[in-house]
Structure 1
Amino acid sequence: MMSSTALKPTFTGPRVPVAKSSRAAPSRVAIFRVRAGPYDEELIQTAQKIASPGHGILAMDESNATCGKRLDSIGLENTEANRQAYRELLVTTPGLGQYISGAILFEETLYQNTTTGSTMVDELNKQGIVPGIKVDKGLVPLANSNNESWCQGLDGLAQRTAEYYKQGARFAKWRSVISIPAGPSPFALQDCAYGLARYAAIAQASGLVPIVEPEVLLDGEHDIDRTLEVALEVWAQTFKYMADQKVMFEGILLKPSMVTPGADSSKREKPEVVADYTLKLLRRRVPPAVPGIMFLSGGQSELEATLNLNAMNQKPNPWHVSFSYARALQNSVLKTWKGQPENKKAGQDALLKRAKANSDAQQGKATSTERFRVLLRKHSF
């Protein structure tokens, strides 16, 4: 039987050196392509203009059905003429541009004229307010989930955003939602984050600054720690997918929910606690490159939304921490106007006072909560 060593080949001749190839070895240095879109500079300028000190966004992008509910609350029929009258009241408020830098419109409003013949877009531009547009197509049930929703509207979005840009819009909004009582399920979180990232990439390609809004709904009995836990996961996935889609962070704005307990929680938190938790979320998830964080009021009262915003701006942070409020700016307006032409000026005064109060909060001008409550009462009806 042969040993294993006998199977090994032996070399008795001299070793012949192998000639080295004259070709240079391929470079191992990776080549990175730097993103450079046709609208990059404009996107950055638009985002910075909206995120300017003392300014925030007026969210007036309610669908016709939702606007109808607002009108019904003051006894008005949901007709185009009544919607026009109310939206005209908002966009023609004298001096609004002192406190409002952007207005989110519904598609009807973007193409709508005022009763004097000017366009709603022109009225906003006169005051230096950037017109924006809601581009999602609303929430629908998410199959095989725990009564969760997903946001539709990606089909045809590139064509629609290009047309909105031509009409004068310079930023966009897309709202998805996450429900804490529903879990939330992992695939609902993923769908929310991915949809927002695709929308943001498409909007930027059309010249619109995307407002990214994964709203963590207030529904539920959960405490503030549970809200923070879910919000951290939502924003981790959202930024991951936006990075994958090569979204330019300097040309976006965020519209997060504040970190609060659920609406049915037995424990309410002071503005200082809400501010601490919300800023903790931002510091852990949001790159400083993002120019503006425009919070939604998310079912909070006018008082709560403004007090919480003020508390956040009492603390140092690298962003423009501001507001993108709908009801928290408009509730007093509707109650004052009541659909009566003779109340138009009073309604506009109410809007101006609410905008001024939130502008003060954006700058953290109140030195104490109690003092700010007094300030807010002066700006409220």
Structure 2
Amino acid sequence: MKNRERYIAQLNRMHSGKGFIAALDQSGGSTPKALAQYGVQESSFSNDEEMYTLVHEMRTRIIKSPAFDREYILGAILFENTMDRKIDDQWTADYLWEKKSIVPFLKVDKGLADLANGVQLMKPISNLDELLTRAVERNVFGTKMRSVIKEANATGIREVVEQQFAVGLQIFDKGLIPIIEPEVDIYSADKAKSEEILKEEIKKQLDLLGKEVKVMLKLSIPTVNDFYKELMSDPHVVRVVALSGGYGQDEANEKLSQNHGLIASFSRALSEGLTAGQSDDDFNTKLGKTIKEIYAASIT
């Protein structure tokens, strides 16, 4: 029963809590870049295991920081290697929820396929069922998976949304809440047009869902303010969150604050300015300032 109670508490927190989601889920290819931004050079590690240990230390430092507080942060997205490691002898997901009241999510995609029809679909997720089983055992609440839309190509966008919802249903059937993330490239020449097509395709898929099915949506901050408002009121949608998509921290916050009800799920914009060499005081002060600014933009 404990897990059912935990699930209901987490669902309520994600649906109506004030705050945002911290995306701590850079994986494989983007890990060296995340470490370099943090001031840890590639010469500091000689294989993947050492690299993942260093990135887990960085994430542990963020999660354990007093600035990383439930008052501002609703959830955190982990990647598989982080889920399978511990913080102070507790699985990361348990530490997040039991020590911090922060809802744990898991990134499940395996990266992007090559560009076709103006989009990048997700690569097949070969071990998805096994991964979801482990996520349930580790007390994870939900998942996240990303596709990318580069052009306003109706066929490509439909394929992206159909793939996201098909995998999302498989995830929901395992007892987890999927975050569906069809990112529109912020540098796309026809971003607003892509968003119009995307919204229609999402609405079509939401209309096909069974009454009990719940999903979250993670979308690029739209060109037209409040463009996703009607998706927020759909009974299937727990929450609509925004990615920073390559905007710097200040610009991402500025754009986000103009979209009412849209909350952040930032990764790069969250860790901007944090370095391994900072004293704990400096690190916590910088993180605290960043978190408060993202929070303020998320509660508009």
Band the TM-score falls in, shorter-chain normalisation:
0.7 to 0.9
Identity %: 24
The CA distance in 2 between the partners of 1:154 and 1:343, in whole Å, is 40
Contact 1:110 1:167 in 2 (8 A): yes
Q: Which residue of 2 aligns with 1:60?
A: 24
- Deviations 1:265-288 (CA, angstroms, capped at 9, x unpaired): xxxxxxxxxxxx1313433x5543
Is 1:89 the counterpart of 2:36 in the alignment? no
Greater Cα radius of gyration, structure 1 or 2: 1
User: 1:247, 1:238 → 2: CA distance?
Assistant: 16
**How far apart are 1:248 and its partner, in Å?**
4.3
SS at match of 2:183: strand
Offset of 1:325 from its aligned partner? 0.6
Partner of 1:232: 196
> Is the Cα contact below 8 Å between 2:91 and 2:138 reproduced in 1?
no
* 2:189 pairs with 1:194: no
Q: Which runs of 5+ in 2 are unaligned?
A: 46-50
Task: Describe the shift of the 1:199–1:306 C-alpha distance in structure 2 as closer, same or farther (beyond 3 A).
Answer: same
The counterpart of 2:234, out of the listed 272, 276, 288, is 288
Are the structure 2 counterparts of residues 51 and 242 from structure 1 closer, same or farther at C-alpha, using a change threshold of 3 Å? closer
Secondary structure at the aligned position of 1:346 is classed as helix
Query: What is the rounded CA distance, in whole Å, between the counterparts of 1:354 and 1:133 in structure 2?
Result: 23
**Where do 5+ consecutive residues of structure 1 fail to align?**
1-38, 261-276, 314-319, 365-381
- Structural mapping, 1:104-183, within 5 Å: 104-114=77-87, 116-125=88-97, 126-142=99-115, 145=116, 148-180=119-151
TM-score scaled by structure 1?
0.69
Give secondary structure in 2 for the equivalent of 1:81.
helix
8 A Cα contact 1:254 1:294, kept in partner: yes
C-alpha deviation, 1:82, in angstroms: 1.3
Instruction: Please tell me whether the aligned partners of residues 148 and 183 of structure 2 are also in contact (alpha carbons under 8 angstroms).
Output: yes
Work out whether residues 105 and 131 of structure 1, in 8 Å CA contact, stay in contact via their aligned partners in 2: yes
The answer to whether the Cα contact below 8 Å between 1:135 and 1:172 also exists between their aligned partners in 2 is: yes
Q: Determine the structure 1 residue equivalent to 2:182.
A: 214
Instruction: Indicate conservation of the 8 Å contact 1:301/1:328, yes or no.
Output: yes
Structure 2 counterpart of 1:374: none
Quote the Cα distance in structure 1 between the aligned partners of 2:66 and 2:182: 33
Residue 150 of structure 2 aligns with an amino acid whose one-letter code is S
| Stretches (4+) displaced over 6 A | 39-44
Higher relative contact order (CA 8 A, sep 6+): 2
For residue 101 of structure 2, give the secondary structure of its aligned residue in structure 1: coil
| 1:67–1:83 contact (8 Å) kept in structure 2 | yes
Distance 1:281 1:123, change over 3 A: closer
Q: Which residue of 1 aligns with 2:295?
A: 359
If each structure's strand is expressed as a fraction of its own residues, which one has the higher value?
2
CA gap of 1:157–1:205, structure 2 versus 1, over 3 A, is same
Q: Which digits, 9 at most, give the CA deviation of each residue in 1:174-196, with x for residues without a partner?
A: 1111002xxx4333212201111
**Contact kept? 1:215, 1:257, Cα under 8 Å:** yes
CA distance, structure 2, for counterparts of residue 84 and residue 119 of structure 1: 12
Residue pair 2:218, 2:243 contacting (<8 A) in 1 also: yes
Aligned to 1:321: 262
1:177–1:215 contact (8 Å) kept in structure 2: yes
Amino acid at match of 2:291: A
Letter of the structure 2 residue corresponding to residue 351 of structure 1 = L
Cα drift, residue 358 of structure 1: 1.8
Structure 2 Cα separation of the partners of residues 216 and 196 of structure 1: 14
Q: For residues 233 and 185 of structure 1, what CA distance do their matches in structure 2 show?
A: 8
Distance 1:41-1:98 versus aligned 2 partners, 3 A rule: closer
Counterpart check, 1:241 vs 2:205: yes
**Distance change (3 Å), C-alpha of 1:132 and 1:230:** same
TM-aligned CA distance change 1:247 to 1:165, over 3 Å: farther
